Amino acid sequence: MKKILVTGGAGYIGSHTLIELIENTGCEVISADNYSNSAAKTYERVKEITGKVVKHYDIDLCDGNAVGKMMQENKDIDGVIHFAAFKSVPESIEQPLLYYHNNIVSLINILAYRIPNFIFSSSCSVYGNIEKLPVNESTPLNAISPYGYTKQVGERLIQDFTRSNTRIKAVALRYFNPVGAHVSGNIGEVPLQRPANLVPIITQTAIGKLKETTVFGNDYNTRDGSCIRDYVHVSDIARAHVDAITYLNENNDAPPYSVFNLGTGSGVSVLELINTFEKVSGHKLNYRIGGRREGDVASIYSDISLAKKILGWTPKYSLEDMMLSAWKWELNMKSGV
């Protein structure tokens, strides 16, 4: 492939994917981001790790004119990895119109240019509350939050689009809970506001940025009462996006639209995650038990056998690796590295 556009490339998973693309493919990489939940400095960190400058566009993908100008300047794009979206479940419940507008309009604006290889950043939230575990790609979709439903709608939109545009092939990657940071400790998750994801809340509590971590519910029907999730290292997730776009580019007989789960295939409770962090960091975490949070499912973890079989992808990092890398990143941010 000659050139790949990564939307949301300054974000958490997007930036790690830029690194994977630069280090493991021969293609040119460009990025677009409006820094709604990221920072332009991320591109400097990517350069420090890879030695490459990423050409990037500071645009809102809901702005059709701005997208058009970017595409006019890059007519040779032959692959898109689309991350750009708002992603907080609680915020989506409070501001559903914001999420429907941003996540759907930006997707439509990118699809309109009919780039032949398209990778969509989806989410396990499309499944909602499920009755049978582990979750596989045939599990019925029943998103229970506006955020999750924007991903469900996005998947359907892409599937319909590939049916009517035979030169376009797409993969939707439903990943579970990306955590951790690059092994260098020089790039990781940087929430601009109070973090919504559990692991940065844990590390920010441990380092003193936050007073405490709240465990939302300890009365679920799980082994210790706290929610169970499938946590997977962000670099494993990033590598899966590279595997997916390589798969589309190298397999002419690939179906027009495919879906793959990305996780580790096992569930970890919130309390188990906290205990693992305390073990690898040597810090006792200040946390309290709170009430259940609207929109949360009790337990979900993945069946990743299809991604292993078709994409040749398998996660490499352990839970201890995930938590230690996240802590290393937090310490480096404090020291100004």
Looking at the annotation, which residues are catalytic? 147
Phi, psi of 190 (to 5 degrees): -130, 80
Q: Which of 155, 190, 157 is nearest to 14 (CA)?
A: 190
- Give the integer Cα–Cα distance in Å for 154 and 123: 11
- Give the integer Cα–Cα distance in Å for 277 and 186: 19
- Counting every residue, how long is the chain? 337
Angle, CA of 96, 100 and 105, to the nearest 5° = 155
Angle between helices 96-111 and 64-73 (to 10 degrees): 30
Q: Strand runs (DSSP E) across 72-176, as ranges?
A: 79-82, 117-123, 169-175
Query: Alpha carbon 100 to chain centroid distance?
Result: 18
- Give the integer Cα–Cα distance in Å for 65 and 67: 5
- Give the integer Cα–Cα distance in Å for 79 and 108: 16
Residue 255, preceding peptide bond in cis (omega within 30° of 0): no
Angle between helices 234-250 and 12-24 (to 10 degrees): 50
